[in-house]
Structure 1
Amino acid sequence: MTHSYFSALGGHAPQDQLLTGRAVFTEAYAVLPRGTMQDITASALPHWDRTRLWILARPLSGFAETFSHYVMEVAPGGGSERPEPDPEAEGALFVTAGTGTLALDGAERALAPGSFAYLPPGTDWTLRNSGTDTLSFHWLRKAWEPAPGLEAPDAFVTSDAEVAPSPMAGTEGRWATTRFMDPADLRHDMHVTIVTLEPGAVIPFMETHVMEHGLYVLQGKGVYRLNRDWVEVEAGDYMWLRAFCPQACYAGGPEPFRYLLYKDVNRHPRLRPFGPRG
């Protein structure tokens, strides 16, 4: 199956556009519609050339306490030889448009739409746009949390096409998850997945759990129940869901509703603000 991945960001709203929009920031969740990701809200990073990005989530924002989420755009020939400044940060890359070359511990890997890479802390990596079109990708960053007896996970590169979706029980495949990390590998303290709901499929109960979520809609549209509200979302929209935020959704049509999902997993909750984890 061929999938599409939304990547048309940037531009600037005309002067005759109404101010009314769908952006919302509440005590339990936030929604950043794709229209908020325009030229005026783009950022730049040290040691990244011919590159701009949108920072969708960051620690201390009130919601993203565990991670940062960037949407990156790298022009042809651009990239970085010093991409990650934090030796304790792990990362995950997911490509939505263009082509690139990821040099990972001395070996080069070609990236294309649907490519996924996991980068453990301390990894020696560089990235370049090796094509003639803009390279667009998601970059999720988290401080890896050690656990007794567990080493950091291994680096790997795979793709949406290479990982078979795991259907949720009782849904006949209408709700499935593409799991890039092995759920049984407790070295991982975050999971980055793609959730797919076929048109009309639902998450039929109000999930309420400790994992913080970041969701970027890659394809299609749906309606999410977030805390007390019903919120319409479409490809290019982003959602923060705070830990314990009630959540459920159903997919609109006519195409599948797919989103890139971050959540923190496999670690004890911190009992002291800066104390050790056991």
Structure 2
Amino acid sequence: MEEKELIKSCIEGNKQSFEKLINAIQPLIFNLSLRFLWNRMDAEDATQEILIKVITNLSKFNGQSKFNTYVYRVATNYLINLKQTNLEKTLTSFEVFADDLKAIKEPTSYDLADKNLLEKEMKTGCTMAMLQCLDRDLRIAFILGSIFKIKSNVASNITNTTPENFRKRLELSRKRIGEFLNSNCGVYNPYNNCRCNKRVNSAISCGRIVKNKLNFADKIESYNEEMEELNSLSGIYQNHGTFKNDIDFMKQLNEIIETKSIINDNRITKKSGT
């Protein structure tokens, strides 16, 4: 079924089309939300809210862009306007993050059986946290342009700006992330002392890594070790892969629709008697 036909079928109330649409777009929304927010629970909550916004406003999609572009636009607008997160309140600048990295004077290696998994958790969590040091406009530009590789003419449509302005934001975000990595990260620049494995113990002790409840490393759907060189800016972020989630968003949305509302003329309206 083509995109326009699928959307039309959803608006008409076809449940199978509705499920097909949700299953197609929720990974896009979740991966954007997780990279933007860092915290998995926050990303799952945001994904559900964004999905509801998308499905209750399908009639506003005019077909002038690809539907995925429209979905990213809805998601980006939602994320940009969220209240400040706890991590954003903590990582207020790259200088603050650098001081945190230098706080451990004598880091020790982690050598238990799960060391590779936890080292990957450390690396992914750390490089994702760096994005929180960017303001939200620069952060979304970096995610769309450097990680998702969306071209500036499409990304500018998503972020409601001009292609030229988006490219400026992307260039500045890359510059700031690159400078920080070059000055602090041992993966990016081998001359730096910071090593992911030597930070695992401290991350466990302060609760940043919870061994039976990882945020990233054990929830990667697709991963390519050879995707790009790890000492390249985009390579570090491309090697994160695609994150999966443990939430059945389709089940949650069905419960919302069945218990509180129905799709009627593409609007959420309460059932009579509720």
TM-score, normalised with respect to structure 1: 0.26
Q: Answer 1 or 2: higher relative contact order, Cα 8 Å, separation at least 6.
A: 2
Structure number having the greater strand percentage: 1
TM-score, normalised with respect to structure 2: 0.27
